[in-house]
Amino acid sequence: MYEKIVEINDRFSAKMIEHQSQDENSKYYGGIINRLTGVASPSHGNTPRVIAAWVASIVNSDSTFFHNKELANRLVGATEYMLANQHSDGTISLGSTNYHSPPDTGFVVVGLSQVHQVLTMYEWEQLRDIKSNIKLFLERSIPALLTGGCHTPNHRWVITAALSFLYQNFSNKELLKRAEEWLAEGLDYTEDGEWTERSNGIYNAVNNVMLYHTARNLNRPELLEPVRKNLDLMQYLIHPSGEVVTDYSGRQDFGTTSNLSNYYLIYRLMAQYDHNPTFAYMADLALEKMAEPSSVDNNAMIGHLLFPFIREETIERSNIPNEYVKVINQTHPRNTYLQKLENAQSYREVLHSSPHLAFGSPIVRYKKENTSVTIMTNTPSILSLRHGEVRLLGIKISTAFSPGVVFFDEYQEIHGGYRLKKVLEKGYNGPIPAEHLSELEKVEENRNPWYLLPHHHRPMTHLQKHELTVDVFPGERSWDIHFTSDAHEEIFTQVTFILGKEGELVGEHLKAGSNPNQSFLTEGSVHYQSGNDSITISDGAYEHWKEVLRDDEHSTDCKHVSVNLMTPIDRWFKLTLS
């Protein structure tokens, strides 16, 4: 395991040499040029990421770059680039967004703090300037971390971890005080171990490793409890291929192809801390998928050097279950929390982020042999399925009532299956009562711009409700889906099956749409083949001719098979697996 980490880090270190700017007249001199953007960046996934890999190679006697003077000179240039691109307020900018960003500075501080600790473990004259530059960068960041805020839930724990490292290095009690202010907000996880952002592809791993460092640096072992729970939960959130379930994420990993590699270091650390054989097994799975080092804050080779105890192979492995039905957040009191929002407006004031109201929504995970299914609430898709090489990425239901994609928010278990339900509401706004109009400060007599009116005082008229229900019934080789609506008539509805672009569609009753990635199943069934595996979807209908309903859109990177329905609806679909 250790040997593979060394090999991965060395291979990446060699590759990145050619990406460093050597043009002394360039503002990017010493930085690592991103081949997608053509520019260098001081953010955690760019130049600092390479600094971590190079340092891990140059100090490690098992590396082919051990005490490599050329790499040492390049490291001096990279660390000087970081100092040149640190703003006067101590922050760095992400580049793609987030300018003068405390949380993005926090990611870098967490990573470079570990790099600096590794550097202090080794005596070699060539390391002196590298060490000095990194320490100066960290010291300059203190004002930004002492005063800086965040955007997203995970940013809080990134900043807290950064503060804990700076406190460890500089003994400034104001840093500890600021860390305690963030921690006083309370940790945002469910009893089953799900974090607010429901981001299995990215931010779970971020939260976990950041709280590990905070717990260690501040001697707060209780902070490891949500880490433990999330790592345990993740064994139920991977497909047989090793792909991580991202079909209901609240962040940018939604629907992307991700693996466990970012979890490697935290699984190794917690496996040793808890002597946990399941965590040790999951670390092995994560390493299998690792092709390159993660960002600066989560570098596996730095982790092995800083925490040499994780090299020990004394923990036996415990396999994760291959067959299960796991209901996540079944007992989470989500509705109780949401009721507290009825008279609160605070969540409307979350700037540049989201209130993440889907937090704690029930999820059903099913896995048997090479079939892996996710049934979801409060997300654009109700179900995703993997069967061998077949990828049914999602099933979404769109309606003209709201309009747009329906997010089903009610869940219950029924005999032999699961029920999802949604009651949509749409009404009309009456005139604003006179007593509220009298409060307006008029610019001109009898003239008021629409946007200045107190719309929240308008009474609701002609409120309409539309109820949709989906029942899902698992089977040995087929899954049945029963879709029903209330008695409302003539509401345009569309059910779309979203499939991986790599497969082939065959069906006698497939009608091509104007979008080359969309077809319509007008009746009967369609066969989707990928590799040696397949799925048959039936039955189709073509009760209206709309291709995409308003406020919906279809990805250009997938294949879509749509079934067009008009309410009232009482229709069965069958998914038959090869």
pLDDT tens string 16-53: 999 999 989 899 999 999 988 999 999 999 999 999 99
Check pLDDT > 80 for residue 181. Answer: yes
**Any long-range contacts for 337-346 (C-beta under 8 Å, 24+ apart)?**
none
Q: Is 195 in contact with 251 (CB distance < 8 Å)?
A: no
Angle at 524 between CA 519 and CA 528, to 5 degrees: 55
Crossing angle of helices 203-218 and 153-170, in 10° steps, is: 30
Pick the CATH number of 2-311 from 3.30.70.260, 2.70.98.40, 1.50.10.100, 3.40.50.2300: 1.50.10.100
Alpha helices in 184-317 (DSSP H): 203-218, 224-233, 264-274, 277-289, 300-306
Q: Which of 81-85, 117-121, 445-449 has the lowest mean pLDDT?
A: 445-449
State the pLDDT at residue 253: 84
Give residue for tokens 């994780």.
310
State the pLDDT at residue 345: 56
Check pLDDT > 90 for residue 339. Answer: no
Round to whole Å and give the CA distance between 530 and 549.
29
Q: Is 137 in contact with 82 (CB distance < 8 Å)?
A: yes
Q: Is 290 in contact with 261 (CB distance < 8 Å)?
A: yes
Residue 56 tokens, joined: 């891990």
Q: How confident is the model at residue 476 (pLDDT cuts 50, 70, 90)?
A: confident
Q: Residue 464 class from Cβ within 10 Å (0-12 exposed, 13-18 middle, 19+ buried)?
A: exposed
State the pLDDT at residue 280: 96
Instruction: Compare 333 and 81 and report the one with higher pLDDT.
Output: 81
Question: How many residues does this entry show for the chain?
Answer: 578
Q: How confident is the model at residue 524 (pLDDT cuts 50, 70, 90)?
A: very high
CB atoms near residue 120 (< 10 Å):
12
Round to whole Å and give the CA distance between 496 and 384.
12
Residue range(s) of every CATH 1.50.10.100 domain in the chain: 2-311
Check pLDDT > 80 for residue 351. Answer: no
State the pLDDT at residue 348: 58
Task: Calculate mean pLDDT across residues 108-135.
Answer: 97
State the pLDDT at residue 110: 98
Percentage of the chain surpassing pLDDT 70?
A: 97
State the pLDDT at residue 450: 87
Round to whole Å and give the CA distance between 436 and 453.
9
Give, for 367, the enclosing helix (H) or strand (E).
Answer: strand 363-368
Q: Is 202 in contact with 258 (CB distance < 8 Å)?
A: yes
Residue 343 tokens, joined: 């008279």
State the pLDDT at residue 440: 73
The type of residue at 297 is D
Q: What are phi and psi of 399, to 5 degrees?
A: -140, 150
State the pLDDT at residue 505: 95
Task: Calculate mean pLDDT across residues 425-437.
Answer: 92
Q: Which of 38-52, 200-214, 247-261 has the lowest mean pLDDT?
A: 247-261
Residue 376 tokens, joined: 């979801």
Angle at 186 between CA 184 and CA 187, to 5 degrees: 135
Round to whole Å and give the CA distance between 250 and 269.
27
pLDDT digits (tens, 9 = 90+) for 319-338: 999 999 999 999 998 888 88
